[in-house]
Amino acid sequence: MSRPSSSEELQDSTDSSAAGFPPLTRAAVLACQFSSWYPTFRKHSPKATVIKPLEDRFIDYLESDGLFLPEGSGPMGVSELSDDEDSRNGSESEDDQSWQVTFPELDADIRRILTKYDGAVFPKLNWSSPQDAAWMIPGQALKCQCPADVYLLLKSSDFISHDLDHAFDECVDYEPEKEEESVQEEASAPPQDDLAQLAAQLALQEQETSATDSSDDEEALERPTRRRKSPYKFELVLKKWFDMPKSQEWRCFVKDRKLVAISQRDTNYYDFLQPEDVQADLRAKISAFFKDEIRDVFPSQSYVIDLYLTRGNDRLFIIDFNPYAPQTDALLFAWESLNALSPSAPSSSSSTPSPYPLLRVIDSPTMSSQTMPSFSHNRYPKDVVELSDGTSIADFAKEWAKKLEEGVKDSVGGEEEREGSDVAGR
Ligand SMILES: Nc1ncnc2c1ncn2[C@@H]1O[C@H](COP(=O)(O)OP(=O)(O)OP(=O)(O)O)[C@@H](O)[C@H]1O
């Protein structure tokens, strides 16, 4: 899920009903949480394991100041840190802190999942991956090969902070004071004795297990936790890493259960996507997949799906669900034009084929990558923007969005293709 970079920008974009957006509800946001949809769509999604709920101590670590890594989380294992690892712990004063933080159970879970997934995973929390922090690890991708890689990315990312603190901010039915009150009431209840506590923990585990459809293997690792001052539980999603050619990714917009538009996900120009028959084939494949596998199953009326089409064009995979809301990037479309579409209206003549879903690809190689960056307005690190030229994040975002809009009319140079493999969730 993409998200605004500042509360100011958030205010600009939250008047969703005025702009023609359906009201965003907590249920719609929760439906896009990874563990909400993955059990249902597992066979159409790359392999992944969810660790939930994350313990409060770990969330506190992610939210704490300074960039330091828990002891024993590096590639060398539990008992030692390499010199390299030590140097990633940040400044000298922060080093002291690093030796006080350990997450041996979580480290062990991550290492076990890494082994199961051939040594590399892609991390995210309930909704977001730390894409804005990719530059923190070698290769600038979110390819994690030890627990420290996962922690470093999560801890450095504004997108992850958004998941932790602002996931429901724009929902019409979200009342933070009320929710916090109920959590505080729970926290101030008389302490339970050990047996009662154990029973409560087991009940929680059972409830979670059914919610994530954990079956024969460990695709949902559950453990009891203390209650945090938050009305929902945080989860760490580790997806098996695979090389996914960007040119094969598509963002699909669903309005009132109708697939209205499809946008190329990447901002590069690809020759092979230009022929009309290729585009017609794409529309047909994605439309059929949506109708057969998603439309009657996904609980929301309006939402956005990210799909990946294997290079042989023979199989579609679900990468992510996002809310139909301004904080999700509309990519090559403008939200105003998507909101203005009315796919239910009768077509002018019965012989005219339906124009839906509309499909947009970058259709010219002339635009330079400087004017068409691959991160759009709500997908770059806050710190970078703050340091940029003294403008506020909101102003910078508006400038950026304007550039993007202008940029869509042209396009940029191509990227070499790679083949994805072994992606099936099951
Ligand atoms: N298992 C994976 N292995 C390698 N790369 C991946 C994997 N899953 C996702 N990616 C890449 O990361 C991108 C973002 O993934 P994902 O949609 O899960 O994260 P997100 O933070 O929710 O993104 P967004 O907010 O843009 O929807 C994908 O478009 C894809 O390019």
Mean pLDDT to the nearest integer, 323-352: 86
pLDDT of residue 376: 42
CA of 319 to the centre of ligand 1 (A): 7
Reported confidence tier of residue 8, pLDDT bands at 50, 70, 90: very low
Residues with CB under 6 A from ligand 1: 1-2, 46, 122, 124, 128-129, 131, 239-242, 244, 249, 265, 306, 319-320, 322
Least confident among 226-230, 314-318, 322-326: 226-230
> Which residue has the least CA distance to atom 2 on ligand 1?
241
> Which residue has the least CA distance to atom 19 on ligand 1?
129
- Which ligand 1 atom minimizes the distance to the CA of 143? 4
CA of 410 to the centre of ligand 1 (A): 25
Q: Which tops the pLDDT comparison, 394 or 45? A: 45
CA of 123 to the centre of ligand 1 (A): 9
Reported confidence tier of residue 77, pLDDT bands at 50, 70, 90: low
What is the ipTM metric for this complex? Answer: 0.99
| CB < 8 Å & 24+ apart, contacts of 8-16 | 8/392, 8/393, 8/394, 9/378, 9/393, 9/394, 9/397, 10/166, 10/169, 10/170, 10/327, 12/394, 13/170, 13/326, 13/327, 14/169, 14/170, 14/326, 16/170, 16/325, 16/326
Best of 38, 319, 329 for a ligand 1 pocket test (most atoms within 8 Å of beta carbon): 319
Q: Which tops the pLDDT comparison, 207 or 116? A: 116
